[in-house]
Amino acid sequence: MYTIKERPIGIYEKAIPNRYDWATKIKIAKAAGYDFIEMSIDETDARLNRLLWSREKRKYIKDLLWQESFYINSICLSGHRKYPFGSKDPIVRKKAHDIMKQAIGLAKDLGVSNIQLAGYDVYYEPSDDTTKALFLEGLKEASQMASSANIMLSLEIMDTPFMGTISRCMPYIKEVGSPWLKIYPDIGNLSQWTKKPDEELALGIHHTVGIHLKDTLPGQFKCVAFGEGTVDFEAFFNKMEALDFRGPFLVEMWADNDVEEDYDTCISKIKEARIWLTEKAGEGFYASA
């Protein structure tokens, strides 16, 4: 049975080694004290093929979650990096549309309420006014599809300048004008593209449906250990408390799949990250929720 918890904290699927199946990933995340897990559907064939899971496979995943009193809160749909809405190639745009449609169906079947979209017009192609216009058109179509399924879409604040700040994201939110398209800030990315993350967070707070917790360094947006980057987490949590944000937080980190860590070590690593972050938040942060 689901129990409402304000400011729940989840873990990114890729923080757990790929070799573990879903049953084990759920157990590891739960044992480490997390409230939910975020599924990854990236540009690899292995993860894109999840969009084609059978009815039986979808039921199996739902049954696992029910048995463990756990849930997948969101899908990180970064597969659009390879097949972007903004591509000038109509075949690629058709693939982007198909991926979006399939992801909404998967989310609906699994009981996932939020699909996080990568804030790239294009990634492997040059960006220009045409790719940006095509990206906007794709967002409008995606939001229409999502509205039919009551599935929320959210644009992640990214590791490139195009949508590296909430200020750059808001024009797309306003232009689409859909209640089904919101913002999913990544505090690590945001902190590298602006000297005033507090102001940016306040700008988008009424459109924010979740937040990625990640440490970063100038020019390094992945695999920076918490506490070794330049993100001011104490200031961030103070700001989120002042803004009275009660939504979910997602710890974004990556397992080293070249090293075979045992089950207990996997639990320990992601648990340490959760404890470190909640200590930065301070006792009053969760007590006030």
Confidence of residue 283 (pLDDT cuts 50, 70, 90): confident
Confidence of residue 248 (pLDDT cuts 50, 70, 90): very high
Write down the pLDDT at residue 269.
97
Nearest to 83 by CA among 43, 135, 46: 43
Question: Using one digit for the tens of pLDDT, what is the confidence trace for 153-208?
Answer: 999 999 999 999 999 999 999 999 999 999 999 999 999 999 999 999 999 999 99
Write down the pLDDT at residue 115.
98
Supply the Cα-derived Rg of the chain in whole angstroms.
Answer: 18
CA pair distance 166, 162, nearest whole angstrom: 10
Q: Is the pLDDT of residue 287 over 80?
A: no
Nearest to 36 by CA among 63, 59, 13: 13
Question: Using one digit for the tens of pLDDT, what is the confidence trace for 111-133?
Answer: 999 999 999 999 999 999 999 99
CA pair distance 43, 64, nearest whole angstrom: 25
Write down the pLDDT at residue 260.
87
Nearest to 43 by CA among 123, 112, 140: 123
Confidence of residue 261 (pLDDT cuts 50, 70, 90): confident
Phi, psi of 48 (to 5 degrees): -65, -30
Write down the pLDDT at residue 120.
97
Q: Is the pLDDT of residue 4 over 90?
A: no
DSSP string, 103-146: HHHHHHHHT--EEEEE--S-SSS---HHHHHHHHHHHHHHHHHH
Average pLDDT, stretch 68-75? 97
Confidence of residue 275 (pLDDT cuts 50, 70, 90): very high
Q: From the DSSP assignment, how many helices (H) and strands (E) are in the chain?
A: 11, 10
Average pLDDT, stretch 81-95? 98
Average pLDDT, stretch 251-256? 96
Average pLDDT, stretch 216-226? 96
Token digits of residue 98: 């198909």
In the chain, which ranges are E strands? 9-12, 36-41, 72-77, 114-118, 152-156, 181-184, 211-213, 215-217, 220-224, 249-251
Pairing of strands 181-184, 9-12: unpaired
Mean per-residue pLDDT over the chain, rounded: 96
The domain 9-287 belongs to what CATH superfamily?
Answer: Divalent-metal-dependent TIM barrel enzymes (3.20.20.150)
Confidence of residue 38 (pLDDT cuts 50, 70, 90): very high
Could you tell me the maximum CA-CA distance found in the chain, to the nearest angstrom? 52
Write down the pLDDT at residue 285.
86
Confidence of residue 2 (pLDDT cuts 50, 70, 90): confident
Confidence of residue 289 (pLDDT cuts 50, 70, 90): low
CA pair distance 101, 51, nearest whole angstrom: 9
Write down the pLDDT at residue 286.
79
Token digits of residue 230: 């330049």
**What are the residues whose beta carbons fall under 8 Å from the beta carbon of 214, sequence distance 6 or more?**
186, 187, 188, 189, 221, 224, 231, 251, 252, 253
Whole-prediction pTM? 0.95
Q: Is the pLDDT of residue 152 over 80?
A: yes
Query: How many other CB atoms are there within 10 angstroms of residue 36's CB atom?
Result: 21
Total residue count of the chain as it appears in this document: 289
With tokens 């399939």, the residue in question is 102
Confidence of residue 3 (pLDDT cuts 50, 70, 90): confident
